[in-house]
């Protein structure tokens, strides 16, 4: 059987990096993108050693032209596409107190426009092939309003709901949409955070993500403790929620 052709954005660290290793070990043909090309080169070398043909692309997810060029180049190099994982994202504080929208706008742009820029260019090829899997990486934060992280929560809700709509739109072309909603995963993004309940090692998280995609899950929320807590957190008073700031 032909090896799976998988494109992963934000593959220069954390979840994206370890997804690349996991799929390389399964013999996939990989397209890896991020801004830090030096990191991608090191990761691509490891992936090739694990057995996966690997192409790298330096691109900012916010740049529609650069992301489209990367998608076109990957498709023409490997002859099609099986899975696209829009994983690139940032998780900073909103920084709204000083009255400057620069930081929150960057979060919204990276985590929403960055996802549409990454996934949409692959859709015509998937439609033609009559198969493909789109994987937006959302978050448990898409189910709650996390204090100081309004931009982050909003961005992750936006892509989760967009994916729910796309699933209905693209069903007739046999395009699967699996939205990933992790809780706290041990990566550079969460390294500085004081409270990380139910923290999961990145290797375990990646195993679960690969399995959820394989099983055709619509929305995969994990770890299970977070999934159980979401309805509870929705009814707790603001005073308690402020403690998560
Ligand atoms: N860790 C968690 O607990 C957790 C929980 C829920 C959801 N998530 C989501 O999982 C995804 C991966 O997070 P992570 O924890 O692995 O974080 P990470 O280690 O900080 O990795 C983030 C990745 O995104 C890339 N990236 C950021 N901005 C980019 C841009 N403008 N253009 C292209 N690439 C960009 C980074 O690459 P460059 O800097 O090289 O561009 C890096 O490869 C994110 O979407 C995050 O929101 C993480």
**Structural domains of the chain, with CATH:** 5-244 (3.40.50.720)
- pTM here is 0.97
Going by pLDDT thresholds of 50, 70 and 90, the confidence category of residue 236 is confident
Closest atom of ligand 1 relative to the 60 alpha carbon: 32
- Which residues are catalytic, by number? 152
Mean per-residue pLDDT of the chain: 95
**90 Cα–ligand 1 center, Å:** 5
State residue 2's pLDDT score. 66
**Residue 46: pLDDT above 90?**
yes
Closest CA relative to residue 219, chosen from 169, 172, 162: 162
Report residues whose beta carbon is within 6 angstroms of any ligand 1 atom. 9-16, 34-36, 39, 60-62, 87-91, 110, 114, 137, 139, 182, 184-185, 187-190
For the chain, give the percent of residues with pLDDT over 90.
87
Closest CA relative to residue 36, chosen from 62, 55, 10: 10
Q: What is the arithmetic mean of pLDDT over 222-236?
A: 90
Pocket test for ligand 1, best of 10, 31, 116 (most atoms within 8 A of CB): 10
Going by pLDDT thresholds of 50, 70 and 90, the confidence category of residue 239 is confident
What residue ranges in the chain does DSSP mark as E strands? 5-9, 29-34, 54-58, 83-86, 132-136, 175-177, 179-182, 185-186, 200-201, 219-222
Q: Would you say 183 and 222 are in contact if contact means Cβ atoms under 8 Å apart?
A: yes
């Amino acid at each position: 059987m032909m090896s799976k052709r998988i494109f992963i954005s934000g593959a220069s660290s954390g979840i994206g990096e370890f997804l690349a290793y996991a799929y390389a070990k399964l013999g996939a043909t990989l397209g890896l993108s991020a801004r830090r090309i030096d990191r991608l080169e090191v990761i691509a070398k490891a992936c090739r050693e694990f057995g996966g043909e690997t192409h790298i692309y330096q691109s900012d997810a916010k740049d529609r032209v650069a992301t489209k060029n990367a998608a076109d180049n990957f498709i023409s190099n490997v002859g099609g596409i099986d899975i696209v994982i829009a994983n690139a994202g940032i998780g900073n504080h909103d920084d709204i107190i000083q009255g400057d929208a620069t930081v929150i706008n960057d979060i919204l742009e990276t985590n929403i426009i960055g996802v549409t820029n990454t996934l949409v260019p692959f859709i015509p090829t998937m439609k033609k092939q009559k198969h493909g899997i789109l994987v937006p990486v959302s978050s448990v934060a898409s189910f709650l309003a996390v204090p100081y992280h309004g931009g982050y929560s909003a961005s992750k809700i936006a892509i989760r709901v967009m994916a729910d709509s796309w699933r209905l739109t693209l069903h007739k072309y046999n395009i699967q949409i699996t939205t990933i909603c992790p809780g706290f995963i041990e990566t550079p993004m969460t390294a500085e955070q004081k409270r990380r309940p139910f923290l999961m090692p990145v290797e375990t998280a990646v195993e679960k993500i690969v399995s959820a995609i394989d099983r055709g899950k619509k929305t995969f929320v994990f770890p299970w403790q977070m999934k159980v807590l979401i309805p509870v957190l929705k009814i707790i008073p603001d005073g308690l929620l402020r403690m998560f700031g």
